[in-house]
Structure 1
Amino acid sequence: MNRYKVAVFDLDGTLFNNQSQVSPKNLHALKCLKETGMLLGIASGRDYAHIASNYQKLASLMDFVVEENGTHFIDLHTNKETLTSEPVDSNQFVHFYQKLSTIPTAAFFNEAGKPYGIGDQAVLDFFMAEAHATEVNKISLSQLTQHVFHKIVVAHYLKDSTQLNQLVSRYLPHNLSATKSVNFLFEIQDAKTTKSSGIQAYIKTQGINMREVVAFGDGDNDLSMIKDAGLGVAMKNAMKDVKNVADMMTEEEANDDGVAKFIEKYFFHA
């Protein structure tokens, strides 16, 4: 395993347990990897400000972060943030979102570090609770066109999301992608922007290629990096499509320190 120079990790369902926390075992495993000289990174749908403020120990071990599914990366040694995606066409999104009006949904995005939301108040409240968010600036759908954003999340609280899945599949413009990291939301952004494209933009600055990257993930939005990495590792709890493209799979789920046990077995006891 010493041929890999970079290890990059998804958060929810990968490094995080069911309580959205990083276990001491996972933190220790990351520390051991870092001591070998590997560069460590996070590739998440979350923004770095949230990660840094809520997970300081984890953030302190990282060399870079690919945030919001590849729309930006941050070199944590220089604190330089680099934009790697085109913004979502807000007029196009409004037209798409109107097609979902038969179902209670809400949409969320960040602009200049501020969270904004539109749509059904009950869904807004549900999403904020799930995301551990404390505030959101609610705006109307018509006001959305006054904002610039590179990713927008559409959330729902349906037990059966079949109808919503069908509407998204039918009406989503071809230049946008919709991925799911958890069952109750879609993450919508430019179709060319993925976690893999964000990782590639960062490692290019370090003279590293994707063959030298090991990536860990579990969700729909991890498919690109699991497929493109030199070693793609799916969590035992990963979606079927992720497992299908992975090179290896952890023996334990995220809630049972699957990442730590994989690192210990294959990087230090192989």
Structure 2
Amino acid sequence: MKYKIVAIDLDGTLLTDSKEVTNENIEVLNALSHRGVDIVIATGRRYYSAKQFVKKTGLENITILANNGTIVRNMSNDELLVHKYFDEYDFYSLIEEGKRNRLHAVTHVNKYLEGYDMVGEYASLDQRYCNYLHEAGNRYKKVKNLLEYEKPNTLAVVYPGELEELSRFKAEVEQKFDGKFNLYLMQKLVGVSPILEIINSRGSKWIALRDYANQRGISTEHIIAVGDDNNDLEMIEKSGLGIGMKNASEEVKAAADIITKYDNNDSGLGKTLREIFNI
């Protein structure tokens, strides 16, 4: 079977733990691109952050499915292709629920052209919260209260915290807001405490990837998806070939058709694609 799209996660997949792209990964991705294979980045990262890492590959005409597929841009010109915002009422209801549980949210917003991508409350002193917000560099906005932030254009709501409290809150949100959100409890992000990421139920990496393929007349059986964490699970299960990294979560490994022999620090992505495509 000729695979036409390769969808790749960033953290724990394309990137090493030190956030670098290995030479072998760069070589293989460029070889695939020259053969006409469509390389797509599918990441939980915001678009600006993802773009900086993808630049390291030397590839330019890349589509990035950012914020777990709730926003899609073409990297060559930053053209906005898709956005799936929170319903405003649902957004404010979720923020209120978090506050009742003494959890502080960082929101990802579509303000790329205005120069920021995250919004957080400056009153929070929680170190995990500050560490997560710090990742945005100078591309974040501080507000006194997210409940007073107008026209949020929110792509994702993220709660940093302890695994137990986030698991409990996840179950509560799923019960109270039945079907309104997709929730991902992320535990494998290097250097960051566990986070609970919540997005519009109409958005996910898989939905964005499936729609992208459909627009190009490509069957999903001609897609390879590669990832390591639970937000990659659906695209790994439903693509023509799902590849889990050696360093992936147990859930991802169980769903994958192939598990790489090498991890993200040893070019597991590039080595596996080299075998599949006989590069």
Which TM-score band applies after superposition, normalised by the shorter structure? Answer: 0.7 to 0.9
Distance in 1 separating the partners of 2:224 and 2:50: 21
Q: Per the alignment, in what secondary structure is the counterpart of residue 154 of structure 2?
A: coil
Unaligned runs of at least 5 residues, structure 2 = none
Q: Per the alignment, in what secondary structure is the counterpart of residue 64 of structure 2?
A: strand
Paired residues of 1:226 and 1:232 also in contact (CA < 8 A): yes
1:137 aligns with 2:141: yes
Distance in 2 separating the partners of 1:209 and 1:96: 40
1:232 aligns with 2:235: no
Instruction: Report the equivalent of 1:191.
Output: 201
Q: Which amino acid aligns with 2:93?
A: Q
Shift of 1:48: 2.3
Instruction: Report the equivalent of 1:167.
Output: 169
**TM-score scaled to structure 2, two decimals?**
0.85
Distance in 1 separating the partners of 2:74 and 2:63: 5
**TM-score scaled to structure 1, two decimals?**
0.88
Q: Which amino acid aligns with 1:123?
A: R
Unaligned runs of at least 5 residues, structure 1 = none
Paired residues of 2:9 and 2:43 also in contact (CA < 8 A): yes
Shift of 1:81: 1.7
Distance in 1 separating the partners of 2:229 and 2:26: 21
Instruction: Report the equivalent of 2:184.
Output: 179
Q: Compare 11-20 and 178-187 and name the one that shifted more.
A: 178-187
Q: Which amino acid aligns with 2:141?
A: N
Instruction: Report the equivalent of 1:111.
Output: 110
- How many residue pairs are counted as aligned between the two chains? 262
Q: Which amino acid aligns with 1:53?
A: Q
Aligned match for 1:150, one of 128, 152, 155: 155
Instruction: Report the equivalent of 1:255.
Output: 265
Paired residues of 1:211 and 1:230 also in contact (CA < 8 A): yes
Paired residues of 2:96 and 2:147 also in contact (CA < 8 A): no
Q: What does 1:15-94 align with in structure 2 at a 5 Å threshold?
A: 15-58=14-57, 60-76=59-75, 79-88=78-87, 89-94=90-95
Aligned CA-pair RMSD? 2.2
Shift of 1:192: 3.0
Instruction: Report the equivalent of 1:215.
Output: 225
Q: Per the alignment, in what secondary structure is the counterpart of residue 86 of structure 2?
A: coil
Q: 1:23 to 1:150 in 2, by over 3 A?
A: same
Distance in 1 separating the partners of 2:136 and 2:82: 26
